[in-house]
Amino acid sequence: MGNVFKIIEKTIHPDALYQDVLQDTNGAVAIFAGVVRNHSGEKRTDHLVYEAYADMAEKKMKEIGDEIKSRWGIVNLGILHRVGRLEIGEISVLIAVSSPHRSEAFAACQYAIDRLKQVVPIWKKEVGEDGESWIEGPQAAHSGN
Amino acid sequence: MKIKALFFAACRDIVGNRELDLDVGEGSQVEDLKNVLLVKYPELATINNVLSIAVNAEYVDGNAILNPGDEVAFIPPVSGG
């Protein structure tokens, strides 16, 4: 199975995708969870607010799945990203990948989170002791080519 | 012709709306729409050089031609994860 690519508003549990990506031919499952941390640099974070362009975000996450399929032959994967207000310790993003052996699962999982941070239209607002501000990723998602 | 513009995160804060129905000339390019909005919302200039644009949920260049009913999204640098 696999192929769950969703923006969701409710709590993500760490096992949410595990059962979904299992397959009898696969001996490895890699799971990555992004979790809200209590600081940003020297500043204390109270909570985060995530916003998404949900239709496009789900489409781009599915494209990441397609890239992983063509690069590693992996079809059993899923990505969930939460939106709305998240407290410290809550999961913002969960990625699960299963493959016959561990090296592909680790590599594909790393690739999925790296690509997500580059191209998927989701934004994070930090709310903390100095007020609130939208965080901008390191680069424009699309630089004109 | 009518198009729908979508604004997210810092863009939405500047424009004050998540969604606007706008009238643009036939054959307008994405860049033309951007220039109209820059005049109307000068503060957009602060993030203009890092903005990406998507038409109907796909990233496009500034010279992409708009069609009636297009959904044009203004996308600040993404920060998911």
The total number of structural domains in chain A stands at 1
Residue A140 is predicted with a pLDDT of 63
Using a CB–CB cutoff of 8 Å, tell me whether B5 touches chain A.
no
| Distance separating alpha carbons of residues A73 and B22, to the nearest angstrom | 44
- Contact by Cβ (8 Å): B74, B6: yes
Q: Which residues of chain A neighbour B73 with C-beta distances below 8 Å?
A: 53, 56, 121
Q: Which domains does chain B have, with CATH numbers?
A: 2-75 (3.10.20.30)
Does the pLDDT at position A41 exceed 60? yes
Residue A138 maps to a domain: no
Give the pLDDT band (50/70/90) at residue A144. very low
Q: Mean of the per-residue pLDDT values for chain A?
A: 94
Residue A19 maps to a domain: yes
Residue A141 is predicted with a pLDDT of 62
Query: Distance of CA A119 to CAs A115, A125, B56, Å?
Result: 6, 17, 15
| Distance separating alpha carbons of residues A124 and B20, to the nearest angstrom | 22
Q: Which residues of chain B neighbour A120 with C-beta distances below 8 Å?
A: 78, 80
Distance in Å, alpha carbon of B49 to nearest chain A alpha carbon = 8
Parent domain of A36: 4-128
Q: Which residues of chain A neighbour B10 with C-beta distances below 8 Å?
A: 123, 134, 136
Residue A45 maps to a domain: yes
| Distance separating alpha carbons of residues A29 and A90, to the nearest angstrom | 21
Provide the 10 A C-beta neighbour count for residue B61: 15
Residue A143 maps to a domain: no
Mutation target among A116, A123, A139, A145 for the B interface, most CBs of B within 10 A = A123
Give the domain CATH number at A29. 3.90.1170.40
Say what the ipTM of the complex is: 0.96
Does the pLDDT at position A142 exceed 60? yes
Residue A51 maps to a domain: yes
Output the CA torsion sign for B78, B79, B80, B81.
Answer: positive
